[in-house]
Structure 1
């Protein structure tokens, strides 16, 4: 397994693009905890902290597909770098101005969230060209991408707490966004990013959303996101009854570890058959693994169950990336991947909101029941939309995205000739 991933990373530009994307996404991955710590340090209430974080998340959900469509139309550097600068400016505005003016704080969060660069979709659009259009290597890269996300969401909060311990929450905001800009530069200054061009697209106001198969996938992963959002809240309530914050930390770490292990094993081999069928199986297993969380067990056993609940998350995401590529209309690949980020994020936010009332009415088990319901709903969506998701005849990992890279490279050659 390690050898397979190492081989991918030895491919020219692969390690740079993966590392740059992860570093560039740090401001977004750590925004929620960084905003809450900053607002509390300023003397603001938890309500204000939660509201600002929610506004940031909502603006991010709106901005990702819009910026993704812009990337498909105008290329990566022209969109990613200006967006990253504006997003960082919003966080700098919050860090320097504080929360004295609530209206200004909300405006800063809208600005920062709305212009968060769509690095996830951008990276997945680049993989086919970087890996020579070989489908099996692209699919392995998607799995590696899903695993790397789990690492980022584990390390990111630790970096926030470290910066806060060394300096202050305000400095943490500035440092993380400065580091994020460096990550964006690593990506957009690379040759694959500079020369990438989307495949020709058919003009349509719905863009990627005119694909029925893609809509079915997005609906399913809305509910997967809902399940994860509710687990995060239910785990807090469980920890309050069984030992406090340390138990919560172990539960969330175990969830991430389970996803990491599952993703590593999933990406270590090639899978036969249609990815749509495989996705139904993976999401079904994910839903089944949420059920044991309903058990009233001690912290050690619950930590093991949390790890089990995470095992099929990264494989489901990796398989979803393949399905997105197969169903995205030509010329909309970045936008399509960005819509997946949006639906997943909005689902997580709704799951977080739904878990609160469930906990108040039915206790910890009711909170985890929201996660079980989300998993079941995701599987149901995939089962009911089998015909729509069977509509993709081939993967554009080779035919679409690689074609876009080739066109971009040709354009890069033509430009000097035209100028001369």
Structure 2
């Protein structure tokens, strides 16, 4: 993977664009509930005396509901605009978490209903932001660099988010953590929908096809790989709690999750500050291989200090893989479906994360903490196998005139966004947590 350094000036150029900083910050704060929901749900369930299996089950229910809701909310945004959907969805999602905090796990049907409502109505802020980038930034090279900046900025949230949750749990309660993060989420969504780009955005016409973006075989291959990436990260959410319990300190969990996010932040910053030569599909395969390699040592479950280092190393290639996947999505999505394709990417990732939490819980109870971390290693390897098996499909993108080197066009010069970028990226999308 050849690269040319561009430094921090590329990010600064993006943030100087009108509305860019506000949209990025509002989206990050608005996504805090989604970014920390699995952690908050697991800690809340354990604080209420629930088992690892129940904690994993509730977190999985939230993830599955989110995966179902995002494409539906994205279609609603396509029809009615962002403000009419994003803010009401954020409020209803927050009320779901309020219900969970109120009823606890004494009534399991109500607890599952609460997390399902919270997940189903999670606002698609991430996909919405990518729909706005072309109109806010204009040039194709800036839009693609914004993908990397977006991934890096998310890692800041995924570094600080777990710490925020564990601090609130320590000084107040797990129920309070559920409430606080959702209040912040509603305020973030409010900031986004009140901005001019969000208020004036309208979806471009899309080709009539019942499969939409899913008619692209290259996109389907990518989705298959990122299901297993999500599974790996989802399993770490539960495995980290089991590890913290083994060491008798709740704070260990927040440290491990923050280390994972810090590693991704470092990797994403390095990746996004450079222009990369060669096809992004091939580059993604290398990044996923390195990501899988980073997950394998976690099964050793050494002492806290070394485990923190291993967690940071495991996260290094996450943000680069996500940023590269955004470019691959952009190249393989049929015309007029680019952000819908982003929606499916994160939806699939969310389903994988839900599956990971569901599998890691029983693995921790039946085989021990090392078995739950082994789920992450298996997920990383499976993600790589999918890419290797479908490399011929991925080598034939829908559009070959888009940029193939990160941050520039085929000629290496910044160009205006293509018609597909302007129209397709104006489609509604979905958000994850790509970082479970």
Is the shorter-chain TM-score for this pair beyond 0.5, marking a shared fold?
yes
Alignment of 1:95-174 (within 5 A): 95-96=101-102, 101-132=107-138, 134-164=139-169, 168-174=173-179
Q: In structure 2, which of residues 18, 22, 25 is the aligned counterpart of residue 19 of structure 1?
A: 25
| C-alpha separation in 2, matches of 1:231 and 1:170 | 22
Q: Which residue of 2 aligns with 1:196?
A: 201
Residues 1:72 and 2:51 aligned together: no
CA distance in 2, matches of 1:44, 1:385: 45
CA contact (8 A) 1:199 1:330 kept: no
Which segment drifts farther, 81-90 or 170-179? 170-179
259, 262, 267: which is aligned to 2:267?
A: 262
- CA RMSD across the alignment: 2.9
- Structure 2 distance, partners of 1:9, 1:196, is 20
Q: CA deviation at 1:102?
A: 4.2
Q: Distance in 2 between matches of 1:93 and 1:363?
A: 32
Residue in 2 that maps onto 1:207: 212
Q: Show structure 1 runs of 5+ residues with no match.
A: 408-420
Report the alpha carbon displacement of residue 246 of structure 1 after superposing the two structures with TM: 4.8
Calculate the TM-score normalised by the size of structure 1: 0.85
Matching residue of 2:312: 307
**CA deviation vs aligned residue, 1:241-288 (integer Å, no higher than 9, x gap):** 567545444433322211110000000011122211211111122122
- Structure 2 matches for 1:221-370, cutoff 5 A? 221-239=226-244, 244-295=249-300, 297-359=302-364, 363-370=368-375
**Which structure is higher in helix share?**
1
Give the Cα separation in 1 of the matches to 2:168 and 2:158: 16
Aligned length: 405
Q: Which moved more, 1:139-148 or 1:314-323?
A: 139-148
Distance 2:110 2:165 in 1: 23
- Note the alpha carbon deviations across 1:360-383, whole angstroms, 9 max, x for none: 666555444332221221111112
Return the alpha-carbon distance in structure 1 between the equivalents of residues 174 and 252 of structure 2.
Answer: 24
Residue 400 of structure 1 corresponds to 420
Could you tell which deviates more after superposition, 316-325 or 169-178?
169-178
Q: Which residue is 2:36 aligned to? A: 30
Q: 1:104 to 1:372 in 2, by over 3 A?
A: closer
Question: Are the counterparts in 2 of residues 198 and 401 from structure 1 also a CA contact under 8 Å?
Answer: no
| Alignment partner, residue 8 of structure 1 | 14
CA 1:74–1:387: 2 relative to 1, 3 Å: farther
Larger Rg: 1
Q: Are the aligned partners of 2:163 and 2:255 in contact in 1 as well (CA < 8 Å)? A: no
Unaligned runs of at least 5 residues, structure 2:
1-6, 404-416, 428-436
Task: Answer yes or no: is the 8 Å Cα contact 1:121–1:338 preserved in 2.
Answer: yes
